[in-house]
Amino acid sequence: MMKLFIKFGLVLLTISLCHAQQQCPLIPAPMHAGYTEDVFKLNRQTALFVDEEHLKNVGRYLQQELLRLKGFPLMAKSSLDQQSSIRLKLDEQLAEEAYELNIAQDGIIISGGSAAGVFNGASSLVQLISQVESMAEAVLPVPCWTIKDEPRYGWRGLMLDESRYFIGKQKLLSIIDWMAFYKLNKLHWHLTDEPAWRLEIKKYPRLALVGGVGDQHDKTKPAAFYTQQEISEIVDYASKRNIEIIPEIDMPGHATAANRAYPAYSGGGSEQYPEFTFDPGNPETYTYLTNILREANALFPSNMLHLGGDEVSFGNDSWLQNAGVKRLMHDHRLKDLKAVENYFMERMADSVYQMHAKLLVWDEMADINLPKDKTVIFWWRHDKPQQLYQSLKKGYETVLCPRLPFYFDFVQDSSHQAGRKWGGLYSPLQDVYHFDADTWVKDDKQRQQVLGLQANLWTETVTNNQRVDYLLFPRLAALAESAWSADAVKSYAQFEERLKRHLKLYRQHDVYFYNPFHPNEIPEPVYFKKDKKDLNAEEN
């Protein structure tokens, strides 16, 4: 009887192992994945063939990533021959970002409905190859998978706040690489706020030279900002990885750094938030800001400009004593400061639309009337669902980024002290993974207005790039699956199993991550501890 139990146990173990081996290791989980026990032997004679001229950037990405992750130089060829090869091609029957990846013994074919779809297939191949252990010198045995996949949402975003902490070009490019690895496709770049201004504007050089001084923790740090040449290089780098970059120039609040550089356009502030606003009562303010936006729009081909529009009431007390604002209120019959705020944004929105760009704003702006086909609302206040419903009711396209669970500056473990909480609540990995837009949006028509999901990394508690990593990883992987994968293929238990392999990749590439399986494995990176009241505050 004991032998029978042992034999039965071995059979179950074998079945379990086979089942585990057949779980597709990709994050995010694909829609359909079939596995065989064959392998494609990737070697130095393997050729890369690209069918279309505009797929060459995808081919270059594949070459660069295999070299970066595995030290493997893939050879590009101009014609398809009989030897083993990787082929990239378009398939008009597939949706724009959909792809098919077929890995067979004699070759690999990646098909996509567009260059973006082919890129997504290449990203999946990069992930599969990154987890392969070489069995012989210069040979990578790639498991044979047949994958058919497409994203749930077209907007799969990450916002980085560089005003409060300057991440810098090298680290930023690394984050872009990981975004591409996980098929995230929108980088919302928060470049201006109270602590510092991080974008070179040729017409107003003091914005960067003076406004770029300091950060959240040290007001005396030398000026740090991105030159326009660096911006162009970063935008190009991201574009080749199917990532659009959207700049945020915050207004009319969070303008402290800009006002330090050009005080003539300051609208003042409050006791707690001095020089917090631009001056809506000064006609020259609108010319000044429009000139800034023209340069920004020329630098970022996404044709999207995020103007913030949040938390203006924190520092607009001085508007009540501003003669220009009083005239504005009288001339345009504006009953209160909220009406002044709305007037300001509507006027700046006109400037954006004249540049043939879309206006992006936080959910405070859902209250005003803007063209619904030219405006995108970002719902961030999880405790104010009425702002989400207001946005959808008015017909605005909307991105969901509620602070719980998508503010990545919130701690991810109850024991963590260095970070923010909301009434004791925080943003653990499983909450990021399990976020379901359908919980909030139940109307089928309104679901079509939800562009997708985004996580926001505010950097009040960041003083080094280790902490940037610690807040992003592995929640970035959970965000990717939440935004990409259909409910039918999602399983948190399976995600955890796949994630264990990715933690190994993080170690290999010096990513300072939080380990949800062994929370005390790596201590929290140190930062300058602020008053807990500040850390738990509502503001961005």
Q: Which of 98-102, 261-265, 522-526 has the lowest mean pLDDT?
A: 522-526
| pLDDT at 135 (0 to 100) | 61
Question: What amino acid is encoded at 370 in this protein?
Answer: L
Tokens of 16: 């379990």
pLDDT tens for 490-539 read 999 999 999 999 999 999 999 999 999 998 887 788 765 444 344 444 43
| pLDDT at 522 (0 to 100) | 78
Rounded-to-integer distance, Cα 85 and Cα 104, Å: 10
Alpha helices in 115-167 (DSSP H): 115-130
466: number of CA atoms within 13 Å, CB side?
8
DSSP annotation of 25 = -
Instruction: Give the predicted TM-score (pTM) of the model.
Output: 0.93
Question: Which of 451, 449, 469 lies closest to 401, judged by CA?
Answer: 451
| pLDDT at 76 (0 to 100) | 86
pLDDT tens for 120-171 read 999 999 999 999 987 666 789 999 999 999 999 999 999 999 999 999 999 9
Question: Packing angle between helix 465-472 and helix 475-484, nearest 10 degrees?
Answer: 40
Residue 272: Cβ within 10 Å count: 9
Do 365 and 386 meet the contact criterion of CB atoms below 8 Å apart?
A: no
First and final CA of the chain: distance in angstroms? 65
| pLDDT at 463 (0 to 100) | 94
Residue 333: Cβ within 10 Å count: 7
Tokens of 471: 């807040």
Q: Collect all residues with Cβ–Cβ distance below 8 Å to 432 and sequence separation of at least 6.
A: 405, 406, 455, 475, 478, 479, 482
Residue 418: Cβ within 10 Å count: 19
Question: Which of 308, 314, 349, 315 lies closest to 456, judged by CA?
Answer: 308
| pLDDT at 414 (0 to 100) | 87
Rounded-to-integer distance, Cα 191 and Cα 162, Å: 6
Question: Which of 117, 149, 28, 152 lies closest to 486, judged by CA?
Answer: 152
| pLDDT at 303 (0 to 100) | 96
Do 384 and 363 meet the contact criterion of CB atoms below 8 Å apart?
A: yes
Residue 197: Cβ within 10 Å count: 32
Strands in 107-112's sheet, in edge-to-edge order, are: 32-43, 139-149, 99-104, 107-112, 85-90, 47-50, 75-77
Any idea which residue has 């800009």 for tokens? Answer: 258
Question: Long-range contacts made by residues 376-381, C-beta under 8 angstroms, separation at least 24?
Answer: 376/304, 376/451, 378/306, 378/454, 380/310, 380/407, 380/456, 380/540
| pLDDT at 136 (0 to 100) | 63
pLDDT score of 357 more than 70: yes
Residue 446: Cβ within 10 Å count: 17
| pLDDT at 432 (0 to 100) | 98
pLDDT tens for 397-453 read 999 999 999 999 999 998 888 789 999 999 999 999 999 999 999 899 999 999 999
Rounded-to-integer distance, Cα 160 and Cα 177, Å: 14
Rounded-to-integer distance, Cα 303 and Cα 364, Å: 22
pLDDT score of 11 more than 80: no
Mean residue pLDDT across the chain = 91
pLDDT score of 221 more than 50: yes
pLDDT score of 279 more than 60: yes
Confidence of residue 73 (pLDDT cuts 50, 70, 90): confident
| pLDDT at 534 (0 to 100) | 40
pLDDT score of 488 more than 90: yes
Question: What amino acid is encoded at 472 in this protein?
Answer: L
